[in-house]
């Protein structure tokens, strides 16, 4: 249902692809929106009746919607405005940054997206609606695209129904809550102490346009562009190059072998065969994906 009113009824704050999806959905429902964003793509989407603002407190509207909005929203705003947030996990699990990646890396069988009210704590507010999907080997990019489709089709409706008293917010069960933090470049380095299944999921999480899973060598970080995994239950040094055949390099993992072929220098972006960077017997030990020795 389209809200035909040139007076802004909501504030939108967001960035990047998640923000674009949210803004599209809100524009399909509300004729005029106050917009808090520095994203050029979102600013170009503004209509003549949309109004750019510099902060929540200068807005006329009492209801705000956040999507991929990074700045923290303080009590001064939350005491005056009702803020609705979008979050790529099935809350109360995986509160925080890079929630989808952490859910995938924890081998969750079901992934999802939450639309919830915001309070002073991280992703803690009452839930308005959730979207669930069984994980079926998709990449993180494919999952985010699926979530964005859900947002485009449903966010405006959810916000409008909540504003009109048609949705009863549901409190989160704090006993089930988990929290996660932002991942960095070091977290992209392959941990050979993980199971093959965990390593394979890491390749699903770290897919284009994100950096691929990496090796850390003396002369820098190298993304693994081609790989396959073999199940081989035997005991030898984990993280050691145990074989090189033609262009394939075999590295022992916790429960098998990671076979790699083509690498890309993360700095220079040069493509190189793995056999030119690694040697048989080389050891790629690591602790928490940060410390290495040969």
Rg of the Cα atoms in the chain? 23
Domain ranges of the chain: 10-180, 185-293
Q: Given this model, what pLDDT does residue 210 score?
A: 82
User: Looking at residues 33-56, what average pLDDT do you find?
Assistant: 96
Q: Are 97 and 181 spatial neighbours (Cβ–Cβ below 8 Å)?
A: yes
Q: Do domains 10-180 and 185-293 have the same CATH topology?
A: no
**pLDDT tens digits for range 172-219:** 999 999 999 999 999 999 999 999 999 999 999 998 778 999 999 998
For the domain spanning 10-180, the CATH number is 3.40.50.170
Percent of the chain with pLDDT over 90: 88
pLDDT at 215: 96
Asked if residues 218 and 209 have their Cβ atoms less than 8 Å apart, the reply is no
What pLDDT, on a 0 to 100 scale, did the predictor assign at position 287? 41
pTM over 0.85: yes
Quick: pLDDT tens for 185-196: 999 999 999 999
pLDDT digits 0-9 by tens, 125-152? 999 999 999 999 999 999 999 999 999 9
Outline where DSSP puts E strands in 118-234.
127-134, 179-180, 214-217, 220-224, 227-231
Residue 37 predicted with pLDDT over 60: yes
The superfamily CATH assigns to domain 185-293 is Formyl transferase, C-terminal domain (3.10.25.10)
Distance between CA atoms of 221 and 124, rounded to whole angstroms?
A: 37
Question: What pLDDT is stored for residue 207 in this prediction?
Answer: 83
For 96-112, what is each residue's pLDDT tens digit? 999 999 999 999 999 99
Around 178, how many Cα atoms within 13 Å sit in the side-chain half-sphere?
A: 11
Please, what is the average pLDDT of the chain? Answer: 93
């Amino acid at each position: 249902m389209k809200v035909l009113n040139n007076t802004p009824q909501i504030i939108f704050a967001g960035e990047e692809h998640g923000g674009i999806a949210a803004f599209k959905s809100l524009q399909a429902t509300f004729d005029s929106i106050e917009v808090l964003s520095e994203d050029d793509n979102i600013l170009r989407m503004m209509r003549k009746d949309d109004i750019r603002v510099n902060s929540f407190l200068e807005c006329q509207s009492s209801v705000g919607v956040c999507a991929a909005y990074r700045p923290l929203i303080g009590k001064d705003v939350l005491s005056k405005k009702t803020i609705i947030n979008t979050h790529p996990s099935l809350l109360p699990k995986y509160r925080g940054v890079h929630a989808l990646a952490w859910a995938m890396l924890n081998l969750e069988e079901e992934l999802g997206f939450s639309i919830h009210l915001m309070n002073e704590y991280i992703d803690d507010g009452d839930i308005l609606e959730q979207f669930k999907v069984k994980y079926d080997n998709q990449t993180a990019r494919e999952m985010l695209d699926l979530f964005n489709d859900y947002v485009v089709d449903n966010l405006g409706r959810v916000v409008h129904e909540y504003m009109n008293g048609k949705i009863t917010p549901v409190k989160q069960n704090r006993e089930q809550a988990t929290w996660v933090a932002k991942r960095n470049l070091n977290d992209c380095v392959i941990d050979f102490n993980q199971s093959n299944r965990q390593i394979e999921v890491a390749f699903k999480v770290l897919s284009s346009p994100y950096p691929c899973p990496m090796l850390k060598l003396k002369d820098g970080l190298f993304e693994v562009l081609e790989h396959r995994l073999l199940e081989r239950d035997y005991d030898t040094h984990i993280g050691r190059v145990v074989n090189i055949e033609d262009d394939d390099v075999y590295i022992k993992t916790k429960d098998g072998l990671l076979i790699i072929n083509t690498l890309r220098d993360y700095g220079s972006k040069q493509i190189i065969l793995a056999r030119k960077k690694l040697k048989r017997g080389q050891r790629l030990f690591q602790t928490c994906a940060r410390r290495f020795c040969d």
